[in-house]
Structure 1
């Protein structure tokens, strides 16, 4: 099996892509905090991640859904971005992404070890 076909590598890579998309959406929300009528957007994929961590079937690919937040109370200008909440979500996303990159790095280290010690 090729390294990139390993289910855990696919899941890590897909998870990193999903978190990158989430970071982009959060950054866009923060950039539009003063834009009248702007509605915050959110990326959802946690349910799939949680199911996998709880012993469900391995995830080959994370699917994300970007939705517009219609539930949060808007200010007088129609904007509903809450910058404090967005910054907190950005921090959580950073921590989650760092965790996945660390796990991917360990996968590469294992591969490097096998390559360097093959035939010894």
Structure 2
């Protein structure tokens, strides 16, 4: 029996996405002066597709049950290959990266607040409403 429901696991996946996006944005900002560096981005659609294609560990009690094995791939990080923002071939737009970083931070904080609310509710139930 799962006492958490699926909400906590969905919030965890959202935090994973936000963390990956934050790392990519930080790499882009750190390489703003690197010649020929191509900016990277994290695709939510690609991460969801890859999460659905990950294998599920399941014990098959009958050969007629579904086989859950499938291929595992890396995170949904892609490069803007043909985009040059500056003369030196660098593809990082600092204004866009800073705006994305701020939006990602707001998204991350909202997920953390929601997760804290879930844990506070569980704690309240465990204490018996006291």
Alpha-carbon RMSD? 2.3
Question: What is the distance in 1 between the residues matched to 2:19 and 2:7?
Answer: 18
Aligned to 1:81: 92
1:36 aligned to 2:47?
Answer: no
TM-score (norm 2): 0.72
Question: What is the distance in 1 between the residues matched to 2:76 and 2:126?
Answer: 39
Aligned to 2:119: 108
TM-score (norm 1): 0.78
Q: Retained in 2: the 8 A contact 1:43–1:66? A: yes
Gaps of 5+ in 2: 49-73
Q: Retained in 2: the 8 A contact 1:25–1:43? A: yes
Aligned length: 105
Stretches (4+) displaced over 6 A: none
1:12 aligned to 2:23?
Answer: no
More helix by share: 1
1:21 aligned to 2:32?
Answer: no
CA deviation profile, 1:61-88 (whole Å, cap 9, x unmatched): xx95101013533321110100110000
| Bigger Rg, structure 1 or 2 | 2
